[in-house]
């Protein structure tokens, strides 16, 4: 493992995480096997990279520019390859081939060129419009029985929250109750990215912008607006209601429902990001 360069974010995530450390220890052998069996020349990993994956530029025997991603099969990202295959390049990076090896997802992907991050390319208001356009393309009908329901993920997160919650008990109860209830009350069900923000959208020559790194689930499209908001702390703190109304309009969503989702998610994220408590109070139903 000492000879394999690691992404900075993965190194940070290893602190106190023994299971992830065991997975990282298996990477050199797996990388060597994949490179040999798929006839790949693999470069140094992208930095700062992902927290639970190793991704690097690669070329196949024909010299095609590709990207090789080896990802830990944690519950949220288990079906990344299936989602990319179902999108088939529409709004997302195209999957070339994949396989599962133990607790690893191995994905060979088209390489986005020039690969500039949306967050580095455009001002905030323009990022909103691009991200909304990408999401609308990703919201297709999910293949039956292929993806975990959003309600399952929300239930896991709610259970974990209730084990460690501290702070305003009334606010906490209301937030976690909504987080459990909202998935079941959705009138639409689509294939969700669940982690789309301007750091997961890249400039490309095939399409202007392509999504990467999905954590796919099936469920309420309103949920998919949240990660962008949480990744924009200055805007979220300054005007959470206005930010929500803007995204709801761009995405064709019910602004009240988005407000409820935002409140619930801010409550659950609050223990790790105390600044979200003020946002939760500002948008509370």
Cite the active site residues.
Answer: 195
In 220-280 the beta strands, taken as DSSP E runs, fall at none
* Contact yes or no for 91/211 (Cβ under 8 A): yes
Check: CB of residue 23 under 8 Å from CB of residue 72: yes
Phi-psi region of 92 (alpha: psi -120 to 50; beta: other; left: phi over 0): beta
Alpha-carbon distance of 55 to 165, in angstroms, equals 35
Which residue's structure tokens are 């990319």?
84
Two tokens, residue 84? 């990319």
User: Cα(15)–Cα(21) distance, rounded to whole angstroms?
Assistant: 9
Name 66's bridge partners. 58, 110
**Coil, helix or strand at residue 142:** coil
Rounded CA gap, 117 and 121, in Å?
6
């Amino acid at each position: 493992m000492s000879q394999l360069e690691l992404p900075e974010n993965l190194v940070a995530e290893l602190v106190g995480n023994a299971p992830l450390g065991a997975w990282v220890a298996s990477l050199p052998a797996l990388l060597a096997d994949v490179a040999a069996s798929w006839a790949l020349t693999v470069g140094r990993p992208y930095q700062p990279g992902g927290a639970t994956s190793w991704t690097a530029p690669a070329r196949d025997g024909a010299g095609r520019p590709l990207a090789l991603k080896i990802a830990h099969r944690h519950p949220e990202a288990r079906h990344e390859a299936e989602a990319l295959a179902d999108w088939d390049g529409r709004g997302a990076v195209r999957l070339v081939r994949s396989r599962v090896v133990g607790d690893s997802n191995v994905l060979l992907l088209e390489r986005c060129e020039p690969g500039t991050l949306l967050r580095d390319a455009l001002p905030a208001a323009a990022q909103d419009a691009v991200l909304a356009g990408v999401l609308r393309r990703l919201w297709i009908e999910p293949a039956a029985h292929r993806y975990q329901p959003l309600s399952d993920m929300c239930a896991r997160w709610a259970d974990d929250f209730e084990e460690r919650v501290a702070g305003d008990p009334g606010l906490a109860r209301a937030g976690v109750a909504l987080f459990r209830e909202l998935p079941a009350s959705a009138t639409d069900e689509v294939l969700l990215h669940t982690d789309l923000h301007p750091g997961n959208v890249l400039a490309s020559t095939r399409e202007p912008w392509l999504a990467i790194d999905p954590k796919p689930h099936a469920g309420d499209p309103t949920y998919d607006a949240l990660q962008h908001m949480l990744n924009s702390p200055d805007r979220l703190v300054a005007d959470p209601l206005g930010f929500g109304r803007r995204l709801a309009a761009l995405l064709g969503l019910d602004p009240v429902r988005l407000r409820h989702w935002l409140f619930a998610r801010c409550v659950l994220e609050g223990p790790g990001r105390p600044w979200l408590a003020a946002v939760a109070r500002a948008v509370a139903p």
